[in-house]
Homo-oligomer: A and B are copies of this chain.
Amino acid sequence: MEITKLIEQISQKKSFLCVGLDTDLEKIPKHLLQEEDPIFAFNKAIIDATHPFCVAYKPNIAFYEAYGLQGWNSLERTMAYLNEKYPEIFTIADAKRGDIGNTSTRYAKAFFEALSFDSITIAPYMGKDSVEPFLEFEGKHTILLALTSNEGAFDFQTKEIEGVELYKEVLKVSKTYKNAERLMYVVGATKATYLKEIREIVPESFLLVPGVGAQGGSLQEVCAYGMTKNVGLLVNSSRGILYASTGDDFAEAATKEAQKIQAEMEIQLEKIHN
């Protein structure tokens, strides 16, 4: 998907919400466990319930791999459903992959071609030749980890590398990669004030912001520091929407929660034009 289509979606839906599909058999409503494919049944219901209020879905690949063949099958079915029924919605494989060249190409084919994802999250540790194979795919996007929202982010990411914090060095160096215009970045919302300095390095790039909601970030702060004239933000919520209710009314509860976030986003979006 071209970035202009994503921006159009945001404008139409007045939302930059990404719904994280961290689907967990231990948390979904018990009655779904009788379905032939409970993970897909849950995802389908969540997607149908939330699609008017979001512009992206982000399956967390670990949750599918944990169930082996069955999980991989549920992931394939979820992607087929999304791409057939809601092709206008941006899809993110939250996979955090990254390996040497020919191996990265394999991962890119797995997610961009076999599963038809629009984008994938990638770890930067192995550098240029581990990232560029993903960037070769036209109409696909690579979302590089810059500053993550977890405590371990302080182990390396915020330490200074030749006078600049490592996460900023990742931003700077990655801008020199071939097809760098297909890059987006993961920036944790728990450190919204960092966004100001990040925007000095990548003024236009889309940022995927996890951690609003369960992980404690503030939407207002993220927008104050991170929003561009093209919005430039995808803000993710997973558990808050998926498990808003664990009863029979889980889909309705998910709709309400997504709608609530969309309404907050609409207020923030109005600020762009003022």
Contact surface of A with B, Cβ cutoff 8 Å: 22, 60, 62-63, 65-69, 72-73, 76, 94, 96-101, 103-104, 106-107, 109-110, 114-115, 123-131, 145, 148-157, 159-162, 166, 169-170, 173
Contact = CB atoms under 8 A, between A and B. Distances in A.
6 closest A-B pairs by beta carbon, nearest first, are A127-B152, A127-B155, A62-B106, A128-B152, A65-B110, A66-B106
Contacts of A60: 99, 103, 106
A153 B124 contact: no
Contact of A152 (B72, B115, B130): B130
Contacts of A97: 62, 96
A110 to B, nearest CB: 4
Q: Which of A110, A152, A169, A170 has the most CB of B within 10 A?
A: A152
B98 A149 contact: no
Q: Name which of A65, A67, A151 has the most chain B CB atoms within 10 A of its CB.
A: A65
Contact of A96 (B66, B99, B152, B154): B99
A150 B126 contact: yes
A214 to B, nearest CB: 10
A150 B124 CA distance: 13
Contact of A169 (B126, B156, B170): B156
A100 B149 contact: yes
B150 A130 contact: yes
B68 A115 contact: yes
Nearest to A156: B127
25 contacts: A60-B99, A60-B106, A62-B106, A63-B106, A65-B106, A66-B114, A68-B72, A100-B148, A123-B123, A123-B125, A124-B155, A125-B157, A126-B152, A126-B153, A127-B150, A127-B153, A127-B154, A127-B155, A129-B151, A130-B152, A131-B152, A156-B161, A156-B170, A159-B161, A166-B166
